[in-house]
Structure 1
Amino acid sequence: MHHYDEPVYLISIVAKILDIHPQTLRQYERENLINPSRSDGRIRLYSQRDIDKIKLILRLTRELGVNLAGVDIILNLKETIDSMEKEIADLRHEVQTAKSAHSVAPEKSLVTKKSLYEMIVFKE
């Protein structure tokens, strides 16, 4: 069994699995929608992650009627959301760890201390 990100599938195999023409895969690469790995001989190699991304592209274009420019925007937004969700999960974990330790380092504090005194100067 191969790792999810391991590039092992040739373009012909991916085209056959997804029932699409290899030129479609080349077009997706030209549009920067996918970025398959390359062997030393410059042969395109796809991972299971690449195949799943292509399936999403096909669903967006075939079933939802999105053009390739729209697919690019959707994929970029999805990547941003995934990144933010990971960051939120990391922050939640950090907060939970701090709660269980009953203390938070000052540099990681969510609330900063303000001075109790504020000075207002009036000019005459």
Structure 2
Amino acid sequence: MTSDDLLLIHTGTIIEDDPLTLGQLCRACGTHADWVISLVEEGIIEPDGRELRLWRFSGVNLVRVRSALRLQRDLGVNLAGIGLALDLMDELENLRTQLKIAGHVQEHQV
């Protein structure tokens, strides 16, 4: 997957082929490296690799950065608020998945 291909991804499930470098992530999201570094420092995203030049980002990180950008741009949310909002959105998604699984289990038991 090239960084040009990433620009075409808007919604849906991201299939992780190759991890993204910091530069690729920034290009795919249309943002600056300093902002992505701030997200890492706040614990909003977590790259693989210890040194900045070795950082690699998963498709999950790509989704989180894009969501963070929307929260900041559309709602004016600061970094701490972005982290909280994304964590709550993840929790909500987990609960929805659990409800869906529980619903399927009940259907099969009846």
> TM bucket by the smaller chain?
0.7 to 0.9
Do the aligned partners of residues 40 and 33 (structure 1) sit closer, same or farther apart at CA in structure 2, a change above 3 Å counting? closer
Distance apart, 1:5 and its partner CA: 3.9
CA RMSD of aligned residues (A): 2.3
Letter in 2 for 1:77: L
Q: Deviations over 1:17-74 (max 9, x none)?
A: 2222111111100001101222899711112221111000000001211111111111
Q: Is the contact between residue 39 and residue 45 of structure 1 (CA under 8 Å) also seen in structure 2?
A: no
The 5 Å alignment of 1:31-70 reads: 31-38=42-49, 43-70=54-81
- Asked whether 1:13 is paired with 2:24, we answer yes
Show the counterpart of 2:9. Answer: none
Rounded Cα–Cα distance in structure 2 between residues aligned with 1:98 and 1:42:
52
Q: State which structure, 1 or 2, has the greater radius of gyration over its C-alpha atoms.
A: 1
Distance apart, 1:76 and its partner CA: 1.4
Q: 3-state DSSP class of the match of 2:45?
A: coil
Distance apart, 1:7 and its partner CA: 4.9
Q: Is the contact between residue 4 and residue 47 of structure 1 (CA under 8 Å) also seen in structure 2?
A: no
Structure 2 unaligned segments of length 5 or more: list them: 2-13
Rounded Cα–Cα distance in structure 2 between residues aligned with 1:39 and 1:7:
18
Rounded Cα–Cα distance in structure 2 between residues aligned with 1:71 and 1:7:
26
The structure richer in helix per residue is 2
TM-score, L = length of structure 2: 0.77
TM-score, L = length of structure 1: 0.69
Runs of at least 4 residues off by over 4 Å: 39-42
Residue correspondences, number: 98
- Asked whether 1:97 is paired with 2:108, we answer yes
Q: Is the contact between residue 7 and residue 45 of structure 1 (CA under 8 Å) also seen in structure 2?
A: no
Q: Is the contact between residue 4 and residue 48 of structure 1 (CA under 8 Å) also seen in structure 2?
A: yes
